[in-house]
Copies of this chain bind each other. A is one copy, B any other.
Amino acid sequence: MATRIFPTAQDAEAAFYEALERCDLDGMMAVWAEDEDILCVHPTGGRLTGQDQVRQSWARMFAAGPRARLQVSQQVAIGGMMLAVHSVFENFSLEGAAPGDARPAPIVATNVYLRTAAGWRMIVHHASPAPGQSPPPATREAPPKMLH
Contact = CB atoms under 8 A, between A and B. Distances in A.
B130 A41 contact: yes
A123 to B, nearest CB: 7
Contacts of A84: 83
A128 interface: yes
A89 to B, nearest CB: 7
Interface residues of A, number: 37
A59 interface: no
B78 A44 contact: no
A96 interface: no
Interface of A: 37, 39, 41, 43-47, 49, 74, 76, 78, 80-85, 87, 89, 108, 110, 112, 114, 123-124, 126, 128-133, 142, 145, 147-148
